[in-house]
Homo-oligomer: A and B are copies of this chain.
Amino acid sequence: MTFHGIIPPIVTPINADGTVNFGDLTRLVEHLIAAGVHGIFALGSTGQVAYLSEENRVAVVRAICTTAAGRVPVIAGAMEVSAPGVIRTARAMIEAGADAIVTTAPLYTINDEAEIAEHFRMVAAGIDVPLFAYDIPVRAHKKLSPRLLVQLGKEGVIVGVKDSSGDDVGFRRLIAMNRAAGKPLALFTGHEVVVDAMAMIGADGAVPGLANVDAAAYVRLWNAAKAGDMKTAMEEQEYLNRLFEIVFVATGRSGDAAGVGAFKAAMGLKGLLSSASLTAPLKPLDAPTLEAIGKIVSELNALAA
């Protein structure tokens, strides 16, 4: 099993009463696979991992893996405060079918780089599937340096990285250092709007939240880039970037509500979700915001037609 290409961080469909909508989830997995995605990242930030109970997290992973049935690999996000906590939830996810686990630097703690490295070693030693590191300083509040990541790759602790650090200089250095070390890591960008450029410079894939809204476009983008057709890749990227403006519509809302809320709203308009509800304590987007998102989506549909 290899990890590469477009691996959407799948949203977790939520009913208006706050429960998980497993019917929608199953249909969404089928939809993504039909669109040609190369894997599924369950329970990332877009999947609202940080709002769900452990029972729901495991049930979500189980539903996704059961539906995927080995057609594409499933990477499950185990975001927890401590290494023992990560291991516990990761094991439950593995039992539920996860092919790999992804986790961040430790939360809450104040650590140096050696301690962060040891944290990943502890997690890897506690699970029996491949481990990915998730570099997302805006949430974990620690930056994982290229040196640290490649070192962990060389040790066999991690097999890849999802980079949502917004640090393009660091990601470029990571690609170079990884190559110099014999490519122990599969490197994924988490930034929706630069997948074409990241493909060109050597990324192994992307984990774009926006792929929930238009997975097929990301697959076309990726395949074009891999075939050396950067012109097509850039055209798809530029269409997607116009679509991505939906996350900037909501004003006066939190990043989590504005972002995941926009994805779910657009998915609802496209018939991919029966409700745009978010998990508590996040409240739904208001009507003017939904209308503005709808306008962006419909105009782009017109362009695409």
Contacts from A to B (Cβ < 8 Å): 45, 49-54, 56, 79-85, 88, 104, 106-112, 114-119, 121-122, 138-141, 166-169, 172-173, 176, 191-194, 196-198, 200-201, 230, 234, 238, 241-242, 252-257, 280-283
Contacts A81-B79, A253-B112, A282-B115 given; does A50 touch B230 at CB 8 Å: no
Q: Point out the residue from B45, B106, B118, B201 that lies within 8 Å of A234, measured CB to CB.
A: B201
This chain's copy number in the assembly: 4
A203 to chain B, nearest CB (A): 11
Instruction: Determine the chain B residues whose CB is within 8 A of the CB of A201 once the complex forms.
Output: 194, 196-197, 234
Name the residue of chain B whose CB is nearest to the CB of A115. Answer: B281
A179 to chain B, nearest CB (A): 9
Contacts A172-B241, A176-B242, A201-B197 given; does A110 touch B280 at CB 8 Å: no
Q: Point out the residue from B49, B111, B256 that lies within 8 Å of A281, measured CB to CB.
A: B111
Instruction: Determine the chain B residues whose CB is within 8 A of the CB of A53 once the complex forms.
Output: 82, 84-85, 88
Contacts A53-B88, A168-B166, A168-B194 given; does A139 touch B256 at CB 8 Å: no
Instruction: Determine the chain B residues whose CB is within 8 A of the CB of A173 once the complex forms.
Output: 193, 241
Contacts A82-B53, A110-B139 given; does A118 touch B168 at CB 8 Å: no
Q: Most chain-B CB neighbours within 10 Å: which of A121, A253, A282?
A: A282
B194–A257 CB distance below 8 A: no
Contacts A52-B82, A141-B141 given; does A110 touch B194 at CB 8 Å: no
The answer for the CA separation of A167 and B167 in the assembled complex, in Å, is: 6
In order of increasing CB-CB distance, the 3 nearest A-B pairs are A118-B281, A53-B84, A110-B255
A80 to chain B, nearest CB (A): 6
Instruction: Determine the chain B residues whose CB is within 8 A of the CB of A194 once the complex forms.
Output: 168-169, 172, 197, 201
Q: Most chain-B CB neighbours within 10 Å: which of A52, A81, A280?
A: A81
Instruction: Determine the chain B residues whose CB is within 8 A of the CB of A192 once the complex forms.
Output: 169
Instruction: Determine the chain B residues whose CB is within 8 A of the CB of A196 once the complex forms.
Output: 200-201
Instruction: Determine the chain B residues whose CB is within 8 A of the CB of A79 once the complex forms.
Output: 81, 108
A281–B191 CB distance below 8 A: no
A268 to chain B, nearest CB (A): 21
B281–A84 CB distance below 8 A: no
